[in-house]
Amino acid sequence: MKNSIILLFFFIFTAIYLGGEIMKIGILTSGGDCPGINATIRGVCKAAINHYGMDVVGIHSGFQGLLDNDVEILTDKSLSGLLNMGGTILGTSREKPFKKKTSPTDVDKPAIIQNNVKELGLDCIVCIGGNGTQKTAAKLAGIGLNVVSVPKTIDNDIWGTDFSFGFDSAVSIATDAIDRLHSTASAHKRVMVIEVMGHKAGWIALYSGMAGGGDIILIPEIPYDIKNVGGTIIDRLKRGKPYSIVVVAEGILTDGKKRAGEFIAQEIEYETGFETRETVLGYIQRGGSPTSFDRNLATRMGGHATELIANGEFGRMVTLCGDTIKSIPLSEVAGKLKLVTEDHDLIVQGNRMGICFG
Ligand code: F6P
C-alpha cells in the first residue's frame, strides 16, 4: 500500500515536472441564455479535467465576473446533471467591458480584466456566447489575452458556423407551438399570428414556420407587402381553407410602435376582415432542456474548444461546417451577422409549395 502511494506521487510529480505547469483555464457564459449552455460547460470541463489534466475556474455572470473576480473552482463533481439542464450554472450578463466610457471617472475595465486574469493565473478564457460575446472575445484577444470562444444563440445568426447550439431547441419549441395553433385556428376559422425570436435574423421563423406548416412566413431579410399577405389568406378561403397560420420573426419591419406579431395581426384583420389573434412566444424559446442535437453539438464544440487550448491555438471560435467541427479566427467573426438568403433551400421549396414569404 505504502509503495503504491509513493509510486502515485512519483508519477504525479513526473507528469508535472516533464509535462510542465498544469494549465488553468477560465470559462464564462455571456449574453442571452439558451438550452445547451450547461452541456457546453460540461463538454469543455470534462475534456479539460479528464483528458488534458487542466484546472478549470468557472467565472460568474459573463464578463462581469471577470471584473469582479467572481469565480468558483469547477471539478468533475460540479458537472453532474448538466447535460440536459437549461440555463447556465455560471449565470450570465450582457456586460460589454469595451463599451465607450461615458465619463472620465469610468474605470478602465479591460485593464481590470487583464489584471484579474493575471492574478487568477488563467492560461486561457473560454467564452460561450453570441455576437456580442464574440466581439468582446476578439477585443480581449486583441489586448493579448488567450481566448477561445464557442458560438451560442437561439438566433443562429453568428457568422462562420452553420449552426449554433440553442437554435435547434428554440426551433423545436416554436414548431410545437405552431402545431398547437392549427387546431384553434381551424376551430374558429381565424388567422393565428405567432411572433418568434431571432433578433435581426429570420432563422427561427423560417425553420419553425416550415416545420410547423406555416402558410405565411415573414422574416426581416425578405420585405413583405401586406396586400400579398392578405391576398394569400383570401385565396386560401376560396380554396376551402377559412383559416391561416402566420409566422413572423420579431425583427420584421413594423410601424415602429407595436411588436411584430401585434402589428401584422392588426394589418391582416384590416386587409381581410378575418378575425385574427396573435401569440408572442418570447422567452419560452430560451427555456428548458436542450434537444439531443444541441446536446451533442454543445458537447463536441466544448471538447474542441479545449483541444484548441491544449494546442495553443488561441484567438479562435469553434465552428460547425457540415458535420465537421472546425475553427476560425475571432477577427473574421466579430461584427458580422449571418442572415437568411433568398436562395436558402427552405425558401426555394416553400415558394414552390405556395407558401407566402411576403
Ligand atoms: O439573442 C437571443 C435573444 O433571445 C433574441 O432572440 C432576443 O431578441 C433577445 O435575446 C432578447 O434579449 P433580452 O434577453 O436581453 O431581453
> Could you tell me the CA-to-CA distances from 237 to 28, 72, 216, 240, 265 in Å, in that order?
52, 60, 14, 5, 17
Residue among 223, 241, 211, 230 nearest 350 (CA): 211
pLDDT score of 188: 95
The closest residue, in CA terms, to atom 10 on ligand 1 is 32
pLDDT score of 4: 64
- What cell numbers appear for 174 in the block? 416554436
Tell me: pLDDT of 9 over 90: no
pLDDT score of 118: 98
Tell me: pLDDT of 302 over 70: yes
> Taking all residues of the chain, what is their mean pLDDT, rounded to a whole number?
95
Whole-number Å distance, alpha carbon 13 to ligand 1 midpoint, is 48
pLDDT score of 101: 83
The pLDDT confidence band at residue 316, using thresholds 50, 70 and 90, is: very high
pLDDT score of 106: 87
Whether the CB of 199 sits within 6 Å of ligand 1: yes
Residue appearing with cell numbers 406548416: 213
Tell me: pLDDT of 6 over 80: no
pLDDT score of 102: 84
CA distance 7 to 176: 58
> pTM above 0.75?
yes
The pLDDT confidence band at residue 11, using thresholds 50, 70 and 90, is: low
Per-residue pLDDT tens over the stretch 224-272: 999 999 999 999 999 999 999 999 999 999 999 999 999 999 999 999 9
Q: In sequence order, what are the beta bridge partners of 148?
A: 126, 316
Angle at which helices 226-238 and 260-272 pack, to 10 degrees?
A: 60
Whether the CB of 151 sits within 6 Å of ligand 1: no
State the Cα angle at 165 between 159 and 171, rounded to 5°.
100
Per-residue pLDDT tens over the stretch 320-355: 999 999 999 999 999 999 999 999 999 999 999 999
The closest residue, in CA terms, to atom 5 on ligand 1 is 199
pLDDT score of 97: 97
The closest residue, in CA terms, to atom 11 on ligand 1 is 32
Tell me: pLDDT of 172 over 90: yes
pLDDT score of 7: 59
Which strands sit side by side in the sheet containing 147-151, from one edge to the other? 71-74, 55-59, 24-29, 124-129, 147-151, 316-321, 324-329
CA distance 169 to 272: 34
Which atom from ligand 1 is nearest to the alpha carbon of 154?
2
Whether the CB of 130 sits within 6 Å of ligand 1: yes
What is the average per-residue pLDDT within 86-99? 97
Is residue 134 a contact partner of residue 334, using CB atoms and an 8 Å limit?
yes
What is the average per-residue pLDDT within 56-74? 98
Tell me: pLDDT of 2 over 60: yes
Is residue 327 a contact partner of residue 314, using CB atoms and an 8 Å limit?
no
Per-residue pLDDT tens over the stretch 12-29: 555 554 456 899 999 999
Whole-number Å distance, alpha carbon 203 to ligand 1 midpoint, is 14
What is the average per-residue pLDDT within 64-70? 98
pLDDT score of 18: 47
Whether the CB of 197 sits within 6 Å of ligand 1: yes
